[in-house]
A and B are shown apart, each in its own frame.
Chain A
Amino acid sequence: MKPFLLTGTLNRSATIFLAIVATAGVLLPALNLLTPDASALHVPTYLVSLFGKYVCYAILALSIDLIWGYCGILSLGHGAFFALGGYAMGMYLMRQIGTRGVYADPVLPDFMVFLNWKSLPWYWHGFDMFWFAALMVVLVPGLLAFCFGWLAFRSRVTGVYFSIITQAMTYALLLAFFRNDFGFGGNNGLTDFKDILGFNVQADGTRAALFAASCVALAASFLICRAVVDSKLGKVLVAIRDAESRTRFLGYRVESYKLFVFTLSACIAGVAGALYVPQVGIINPSEFAPANSIEAVIWVAVGGRGTLIGAALGAVVVNYAKTVFTSGPLAPYWLFLLGALFVLVTLLMPKGLLGTWHAWYGRRKPAPTAGATPSDETEFAGEIAKPHMAE
Chain B
Amino acid sequence: MTFPTKSLLSAPLSRRGWLAAAAGLCLGLSTFAPARAADDTIKIGILHSLSGTMAISETTLKDAMLMLIDEQNKKGGVLGKKLEAVVVDPASNWPLFAEKARELITKDKVSVVFGCWTSVSRKSVLPVFKELDSILFYPVQYEGEESERNVFYTGAAPNQQAIPAVDYLMNESGVERWVLAGTDYVYPRTTNKILEAYLKSKGVPAGDIMVNYTPFGFSDWQTEVSKIKTFGSAGKKTAVVSTINGDANVPFYKELGNQGIKATDIPVVAFSVGEEELAGLDTKPLVGHLAAWNYFESINTPANKAFIKAWHAFTKNPKRTTNDPMEAHYIGFNMWVKAVEKAKSFDPDKVIAALPGIKQANLTGGVSEMLPNHHITKPVFIGEIQADGQFNVVSPDDPKKARLVPGDAWSDYLPGSKDLESDWVKLKCGNYNKVTKKCGGQAS
The finding on whether chains A and B are genuine partners in a shared complex, rather than unrelated, reads yes
Asked if A179 lies at the interface with its beta carbon under 8 angstroms from chain B, I say yes
Knowing A16-B17, A358-B11, A372-B6, say if A104 contacts B433 (CB, 8 Å). yes
Mark the stretch among A2-10, A132-140, A150-158, A223-231 that contacts chain B.
A2-10
- Which residue of chain A lies nearest to B93 when distances are taken between CB atoms in the complex? A286
A355 vs B438: C-alpha distance when bound (angstroms): 62
Are B4 and A367 interface neighbours, CB within 8 A?
A: no
Mark the stretch among A58-66, A123-131, A253-261, A322-330 that contacts chain B.
A322-330
Looking at the complex, which one of B6, B91, B96, B184 makes contact with A374 (CB distance below 8 Å)? B6
Knowing A202-B127, A306-B3, A375-B3, say if A367 contacts B431 (CB, 8 Å). no
Chain B window 400-422, contacts with chain A (Cβ cutoff 8 Å), 1 for yes, 0 for no: 00000000000000111100100
The smallest beta-carbon distance between A97 and chain B, in angstroms, is: 9
The smallest beta-carbon distance between A130 and chain B, in angstroms, is: 19
A53 vs B100: C-alpha distance when bound (angstroms): 13
Q: Which of B168-192 contact A (CB under 8 A)?
A: 184-186, 189-190
Looking at the complex, which one of B5, B29, B120 makes contact with A187 (CB distance below 8 Å)? B120
The smallest beta-carbon distance between A88 and chain B, in angstroms, is: 17
Asked if B145 lies at the interface with its beta carbon under 8 angstroms from chain A, I say yes
* A-side interface mostly: helix
Chain B window 354-392, contacts with chain A (Cβ cutoff 8 Å), 1 for yes, 0 for no: 000000000000000000000000000000000000000
Chain A window 92-124, contacts with chain B (Cβ cutoff 8 Å), 1 for yes, 0 for no: 000000111111110000010111100000000
A178 vs B214: C-alpha distance when bound (angstroms): 10
Chain B window 7-45, contacts with chain A (Cβ cutoff 8 Å), 1 for yes, 0 for no: 111111100011001000100110110100000000000
Are A374 and B4 interface neighbours, CB within 8 A?
A: yes
Knowing A104-B438, A188-B186, A326-B96, say if A358 contacts B416 (CB, 8 Å). no
Asked if A13 lies at the interface with its beta carbon under 8 angstroms from chain B, I say yes
Are A327 and B440 interface neighbours, CB within 8 A?
A: no
B51 contacts across to A, CB distance below 8 A: 334-335
Asked if B72 lies at the interface with its beta carbon under 8 angstroms from chain A, I say no
Asked if B71 lies at the interface with its beta carbon under 8 angstroms from chain A, I say no
- Which residue of chain B lies nearest to A287 when distances are taken between CB atoms in the complex? B95
The smallest beta-carbon distance between B234 and chain A, in angstroms, is: 26
B190 contacts across to A, CB distance below 8 A: 114
A198 contacts across to B, CB distance below 8 A: none
Q: Which of A133-192 contact B (CB under 8 A)?
A: 175, 178-180, 186-189, 191-192
B126 contacts across to A, CB distance below 8 A: 191-192
Q: Which of B96-132 contact A (CB under 8 A)?
A: 96, 98-100, 102-103, 106-107, 118-120, 123-124, 126-128, 131
Asked if A388 lies at the interface with its beta carbon under 8 angstroms from chain B, I say no
A46 contacts across to B, CB distance below 8 A: 99, 102-103, 106-107
The smallest beta-carbon distance between B100 and chain A, in angstroms, is: 7
The smallest beta-carbon distance between A258 and chain B, in angstroms, is: 19
Mark the stretch among B82-90, B275-283, B292-300, B336-344 that contacts chain A.
B82-90
The smallest beta-carbon distance between A357 and chain B, in angstroms, is: 8
B2 contacts across to A, CB distance below 8 A: 350-351, 355, 374-377, 379
Chain A window 1-42, contacts with chain B (Cβ cutoff 8 Å), 1 for yes, 0 for no: 110011001101100100010001000000000000000000
The size bracket of the interface on A is 35 or more
The smallest beta-carbon distance between B119 and chain A, in angstroms, is: 6
Are A368 and B9 interface neighbours, CB within 8 A?
A: yes
The smallest beta-carbon distance between A141 and chain B, in angstroms, is: 19
Are A355 and B4 interface neighbours, CB within 8 A?
A: yes
Kindly name the residue among B7, B21, B87, B184 whose own CB sees the greatest number of chain A CB atoms within 10 A.
B7
Are B440 and A323 interface neighbours, CB within 8 A?
A: no
B107 contacts across to A, CB distance below 8 A: 44, 46
Looking at the complex, which one of B89, B193, B430, B442 makes contact with A100 (CB distance below 8 Å)? B442
Asked if B146 lies at the interface with its beta carbon under 8 angstroms from chain A, I say yes
- Which residue of chain A lies nearest to B411 when distances are taken between CB atoms in the complex? A114
Are A114 and B193 interface neighbours, CB within 8 A?
A: yes
Are A104 and B441 interface neighbours, CB within 8 A?
A: yes
A9 vs B11: C-alpha distance when bound (angstroms): 8
The smallest beta-carbon distance between A111 and chain B, in angstroms, is: 7
Looking at the complex, which one of B13, B185, B417, B442 makes contact with A114 (CB distance below 8 Å)? B417
Looking at the complex, which one of B87, B124, B216 makes contact with A191 (CB distance below 8 Å)? B124
Q: Which of A317-347 contact B (CB under 8 A)?
A: 320, 323-324, 326-328, 331-332, 334-335
Are B50 and A331 interface neighbours, CB within 8 A?
A: yes
B146 contacts across to A, CB distance below 8 A: 102
B443 contacts across to A, CB distance below 8 A: 100
The smallest beta-carbon distance between B1 and chain A, in angstroms, is: 5
Are B3 and A45 interface neighbours, CB within 8 A?
A: no
Are B29 and A111 interface neighbours, CB within 8 A?
A: no
- Which residue of chain B lies nearest to A331 when distances are taken between CB atoms in the complex? B89
Are A350 and B440 interface neighbours, CB within 8 A?
A: no
Asked if B444 lies at the interface with its beta carbon under 8 angstroms from chain A, I say yes
Residue pairs across A and B with Cβ atoms less than 8 A apart, 18 shown, are A9-B8, A16-B17, A43-B29, A45-B106, A50-B32, A102-B146, A103-B420, A178-B215, A180-B186, A188-B119, A188-B186, A281-B98, A326-B88, A326-B90, A358-B7, A365-B11, A375-B3, A376-B2
Q: Top 4 nearest A-B pairs by Cβ distance?
A: A358-B7, A104-B440, A355-B4, A187-B185
Given A46-B107, A358-B11, 19 extra CB contacts under 8 A: A13-B11, A44-B32, A44-B106, A46-B99, A98-B444, A101-B441, A103-B417, A114-B145, A178-B184, A180-B186, A187-B185, A188-B119, A188-B185, A192-B123, A282-B123, A282-B124, A331-B88, A351-B1, A374-B3
